Amino acid sequence: MSTTRRTVLIASGASLALPNIAPAQEAPGVTATEIRIGSTNSLSGPASAYSVISTCLTAMFRRLNDEGGVGGRRINFIVYDDAYAPPRTLEQTRRLVEQDRVAFTFNQLGTPTNNAVHRYMNQRRVPHLFLATGADKWANPREYPWTIGWQPSYRVEAQIYAKHILETRPNAKIALLHQNDDFGRDYLNGVRDVLGPRFDSMVRVATNEATDPTVDSQIVQLQAGGADVLICGVIPRFAAQAIRRVHDIGWRPMMFMTNVSVSVGAVMQPAGPERGVGLITSDYRKDQSDPAWANDPGMNEWRAFMQRFIPGADLTDNNFTYGYGVGTTMIQVLRQCGNDFSRENVMRQAASIAPMEIATLLPGVKVQTQPTNFNVIRQMQLQRWTGTGWARFGNVIEGANV
């Protein structure tokens, strides 16, 4: 597997306007002119649909550098391909920390992949920031004070789905398809949280591995059990397969899909937009296909950024609105650092974000952290696929109230 490296540091010889350059610090990854930040993503492999997030973040740091950087320093953002393979993630993360000597890592993709480096990053006391995964375990500052997620927890998302099912179909027979790792098991745990002792009588479960070629057999198996509700906690490739298979075999359950696998461009279009009509998910982002945001100032800010820095990108892929949101959060933390980019202060600032609105997040959804609460985004809203876009319904729901 070849290694891909992306860096946004302007090549040597480029002029650098640094009006307030501070003295170099004795901090890894930080000089008087540069802050090195590392990341890993599935630039190839089964989860490569998420690689556009790194494309978006690279462009955001390029824009920041064009504007003079932060604290007089330019950002050198280094992204390595782990192909969504945990041993590869560990190898590439060690390379970032021990060879590239990055100040910290940011938005590494995936639950099983971050599992592989979770203990390593905390033992090394290297900030492991705003991971691209919603596993519940990333919000545990007592045991893992150097790791913090960003998006809402998968477990809370599953709780919301289960509550909606009980309200609308109290006698439902539920089929649950989930990836056989911590990502997928959060959906199992969230549904169990709400159903309690009724879980075993109401739910039939099937699992898949990230390396499986398809989930077709699991879908047929779950249909045979007579379920009238289907919940899926799978990555985009399997999400498109599941939507297509459910439709093609004539199964018509109330169907829920994890909100990390509902991109119009990466999932709904490949599945066939007509096949997914009625599909329910939740989200905390504004969706490009929703006409409510046609003249929204925040989405106009994002569209202008996309047009200038990533022209030709598929605006229907909501991984770009995700990237813009998490990138904005990271830049806010860097600005809060002032002139102290030590690992200790970066982590302190990441855990001290006052409630803030972000251009691509829904009204009522805020980014915030406290030293004892690493759940960065805590609100979501249900939405349903119409065949051409996502239609929101119900109120914005905060996880703590589920």
Q: What is the pLDDT of residue 11?
A: 33
What is the torsional sign of CA 362, 291, 257, 261? negative
For the record, the structure tokens of 150 come out as 């960003």
Mean pLDDT to the nearest integer, 336-352: 97
**Strand arrangement, sheet containing 379-385:** 203-208, 174-179, 229-233, 254-257, 280-283, 379-385, 390-398
Is 80 exceeded by the pLDDT of residue 402? no
Q: What is the pLDDT of residue 288?
A: 87
- Render pLDDT for 143-165 as a digit per residue (tens, 0 to 9): 999 999 999 999 989 999 999 99
- Render pLDDT for 270-316 as a digit per residue (tens, 0 to 9): 999 999 999 999 999 998 888 999 999 999 999 999 999 999 999 98
Q: Is 65 left (phi over 0), alpha (psi -120 to 50) or beta?
A: alpha
Q: Using an 8 Å Cβ cutoff, are 359 and 326 in contact? A: no
Mean pLDDT to the nearest integer, 245-250: 98
Identify the CA nearest to 263 among candidates 51, 74, 116: 51
Mean pLDDT score of the chain, rounded to an integer?
92
Is 60 exceeded by the pLDDT of residue 120? yes
Q: Using an 8 Å Cβ cutoff, are 121 and 65 in contact? A: no
Q: Using an 8 Å Cβ cutoff, are 203 and 256 in contact? A: no
Mean pLDDT to the nearest integer, 366-388: 94
Q: What is the pLDDT of residue 16?
A: 35
Q: Is 336 helix (H, G, I), strand (E, B) or coil?
A: helix
| Residues 6+ positions from 295 with CB-CB distance below 8 Å | none
Neighbour tally for 117: CB within 10 Å:
27
Q: What is the pLDDT of residue 208?
A: 97
pLDDT band at 98 (very low <50, low <70, confident <90, very high): very high
Question: In Å, how far are 17, 136, 162 from 165, measured between CA atoms?
Answer: 57, 22, 5
Q: What is the pLDDT of residue 20?
A: 40
Q: Is 19 helix (H, G, I), strand (E, B) or coil?
A: coil
Residue with tokens 């070849």: 2
pLDDT band at 112 (very low <50, low <70, confident <90, very high): very high
Q: If residue 148 lies in a helix (H) or strand (E), which one and from where to where?
A: none
- Render pLDDT for 165-177 as a digit per residue (tens, 0 to 9): 999 999 999 999 9
Mean pLDDT to the nearest integer, 14-31: 56
- Render pLDDT for 29-88 as a digit per residue (tens, 0 to 9): 999 999 999 999 999 998 999 999 999 999 999 999 999 999 999 999 999 999 999 999
Is 80 exceeded by the pLDDT of residue 18? no
Q: What is the pLDDT of residue 337?
A: 98
Identify the CA nearest to 211 among candidates 82, 33, 84: 84
Q: Is 45 left (phi over 0), alpha (psi -120 to 50) or beta?
A: left
The span from the CA of 316 to the CA of 268, in Å, is 10
The span from the CA of 366 to the CA of 351, in Å, is 15
Q: Using an 8 Å Cβ cutoff, are 109 and 47 in contact? A: yes
Q: What is the pLDDT of residue 12?
A: 33
Is 60 exceeded by the pLDDT of residue 8? no
Q: What is the pLDDT of residue 13?
A: 32
Q: What is the pLDDT of residue 399?
A: 60
| Residue 37 burial class via C-beta count within 10 angstroms: exposed 0-12, middle 13-18, buried 19 and up | buried
Answer with the residue of higher pLDDT: 208 or 5: 208
| Residue 362 burial class via C-beta count within 10 angstroms: exposed 0-12, middle 13-18, buried 19 and up | buried
Q: How many residues does the chain have?
A: 402
Per the DSSP assignment, residues forming a β-bridge with 256 are: 231, 280
The span from the CA of 375 to the CA of 353, in Å, is 11
| Residues 6+ positions from 100 with CB-CB distance below 8 Å | 29, 36, 38, 78
Identify the CA nearest to 187 among candidates 209, 165, 160, 221: 160
